[in-house]
Amino acid sequence: AKVFGHDIASESEAIRRKVGYMSQRFALYDELTALENLSFYAGVYGVGEAARVEQAMRTVGLEREASTRAGALPIGWRQRLALATAIVHQPSLLVLDEPTSGVDPVARRSFWNLIYDLAEQGSTALVTTHYMDEAEYCHRVGIMRRGRLLAMDTPSALKRTGLQGAAWDVVADPVLQALSLLQGSPSVTRAGLTGDHLRAITPADLEVGELAQLLESGGVRLGRLERVEPTLEDVFLALAGE
């Protein structure tokens, strides 16, 4: 097998120079400052220019935290530092293993903005994530289950073709009674709670009236029953057979 035209067995060093990797568990030295960590990894990659280290710091917005020990940084800033160590040698390919795991939504969105900026500068980013809403940010999405690639396409194409059925948004009272009716119906492929709403997947040809009758005849009051666009989570569950 080859990566960037280099054989993985005999030319691994040449490949490493073109690939940046950020692991799910950060390989940072807590007692070193952010700048010292980045300088260390620059040396590992054979980058001797201080300007490259400073550029990586600026790219991830860590200039003000340069003298802060890595162990004292909040998790969002530690992730930025981990990303900086992955890009200091200006790789063509970035492999990011669940880079936003464990951070709040604001930090997640900020991190994805950084990924977009790097992509615009010419890097290709390969990101693994369990957050289906994050997968929507990608140009192409591959859905894997137990090491097997089930599908790969753009997010919009996957939502258009990956679900052989219809998705419904349901607001009903009592909600648990409605859920029980949906889950017990042979006309419903899958049903579950999403906040105070219900999500139901049915065959594509099921009419709204049939679904309404199922619920209302079971003593449920409907507040909303609308066919909606499938989500990537709907597609994943359908492809994974769950």
CA atoms within 13 A on the CB side of 150: 16
Residue 171, both tokens = 């607001």
Return all residues near 66 (Cβ < 8 A) that are at least 6 apart: 33, 34, 35, 57
CA within 13 Å, CB half, 128: 12
pTM attached to this predicted model: 0.82
Query: Which residue in the block uniquely carries the two structure tokens 């029980």?
Result: 180
Q: Are strands 2-3 and 6-7 parallel, antiparallel or unpaired?
A: antiparallel
Q: Which has the closest alpha carbon to 87: 158, 142, 17?
A: 17
Task: Name the 3-class secondary structure at 133.
Answer: helix
* CA 199/CA 195 separation, integer angstroms: 10
How far is 62 from 84, CA to CA, in rounded Å?
9
Interatomic CA distance for residues 217 and 227, integer angstroms: 20
3-state secondary structure at position 188: coil
Strand partners, 152: 142
Q: How many CA atoms lie within 13 A of 104 on its CB side?
A: 3
* Residues 225, 208 contacting (CB under 8 angstroms): yes
Q: What span, in angstroms and rounded, lies between the C-alpha atoms of 53 and 46?
A: 12
Task: Give the separation between CA 166 and CA 237, rounded to whole angstroms.
Answer: 13
pLDDT in the model for residue 206: 95
Output the tens digit of pLDDT for each of the chain's 242 residues: 889 999 999 999 899 889 999 988 778 999 999 999 999 999 988 887 889 999 999 999 999 999 999 999 998 899 999 999 999 999 999 999 999 888 888 888 989 999 999 999 999 999 999 989 899 999 999 999 999 999 999 999 999 998 889 999 999 999 999 999 999 999 999 999 998 999 999 999 999 999 999 999 999 999 999 999 999 999 999 998 76
**pLDDT at residue 203, rounded to an integer:** 95
Per-residue pLDDT at 181: 97
Please report, for the chain, the start and end positions of each structural domain, with discontinuous segments joined by +: 2-130, 163-240
CATH number 3.30.70.100 is the correct assignment for the domain at 163-240:
yes
Arch. (CATH architecture) of 2-130? 3-Layer(aba) Sandwich (3.40)
With residue 88 as reference, give the H or E element that holds it: none
Angle at 169 between CA 166 and CA 171, to 5 degrees: 150
What is the pLDDT, as a whole number, of residue 242? 65
